[in-house]
Amino acid sequence: MFSQKEFIELSRKFVCVRLESYESKEHQDLVRKFLNGRFANTAFCVLAPDGETELSGTGRGPEQALSRRGQGKPGEDGVIEKLEEYASNYQVRGKPEEMVLQDFHSFRQALNVASADQRLLVFASAPDSEKERLREQLRPVFSDEQIVGLFHLDFSDEEKDSKWTTNVRNSSGEPGLYLIRADEFGQSGEVLEKLELSTDPKEIRGALLAGNLAFSLLEERKDYSSHVAEGRREGIHFENAMPYGEDRDGDGEIDHHGGKGKGGKGGKR
């Protein structure tokens, strides 16, 4: 659903937050809040602009959350219709070019998620002193209607990402904007193109569109079940920042028997 063109277009009417439930204790606490104390790897809720008032029900995903309050029609079309209704009740104040840009907890996580979502990763490797200027430069690029929803974006963290070039082919390690294709399980990747931090936004946009076109011709859509099976056969393991597993009974402790396997996104995708 989230990769549908209609859903991507609709998402621009919302502030979309993707909780990193295995990388952040704070995010896990939010998941528990939405699941009545239980913990799972995902949760979904539509909030009012105050960030507190719950407009929809809560659940593991959009259809479940909306059905909790008998809202909307079943299926993906029903979800989109109901979200359109929510959006129509609020006047948008901000401008697309003022959007908050995506940023992961770490490069290794960004690479892993890019592989899972089958998107190219744009990695902005820059000193802290240049990041705010760089964000201003990139906002019009990533709010462009032909770019939005097609890429993942991550800004370097000097502490967590000091060894980001490990297992990434064609990476110089110098400051720049790197267009990276992750491997099948997000354990390594390859730099397809490197742009200077001073590159004009129009040139960045052109490079991204060209890169995505080439990527779409090479990347085959993954079959979930066969992909997971192959990951298990190969012993793929992604070490999360938080203990892997779910707390289905809400006792505050992770039920490790339910998370048995390879752990992390790499082996569960």
Give me the tens of pLDDT residue by residue for the chain, a chain 269 residues long. 666 778 878 887 888 888 888 888 899 999 999 998 999 888 999 999 999 999 998 988 888 888 765 555 667 788 888 899 999 999 888 776 778 899 999 999 999 999 999 999 999 999 999 999 999 999 999 989 899 889 999 999 998 999 999 999 999 999 999 999 999 999 999 999 999 999 999 999 999 999 999 999 988 888 878 888 888 888 888 888 888 888 888 888 888 654 433 333 433 33
Residues of the chain with CATH 3.40.30.10: 97-218
d(CA 49, CA 61): 20
Compute the CA torsion angle 46, 51, 52, 53 (nearest 10 deg).
-50
Residue 177 main-chain phi, psi, to 5 deg:
-100, 120
Question: Of all helices (H) and strands (E), which one includes residue 178?
Answer: strand 176-182
Q: How would you classify the pairing of strands 120-125 and 189-195? A: unpaired
Q: Which CATH class is domain 97-218?
A: alpha beta
Do 240 and 113 form a contact (C-beta atoms < 8 A)? no
Report the SS3 class of residue 33.
helix
Task: Say which DSSP state 255 is in.
Answer: B
Task: Give me the helix-helix angle, 128-142 and 201-218, nearest 10°.
Answer: 70
Q: What are phi and psi of 92, to 5 degrees?
A: -70, 130
DSSP strand pairing (151-155 vs 120-125): parallel
pTM for the full predicted model: 0.79
Helix, strand, coil distribution of the chain in percent, nearest 5: 40, 15, 50
Task: Read off the pLDDT of residues 213-257 as tens digits, 9 standing for 90 and up.
Answer: 999 998 888 887 888 888 888 888 888 888 888 888 888 888 865
Contact 79, 63 (CB under 8 A): yes
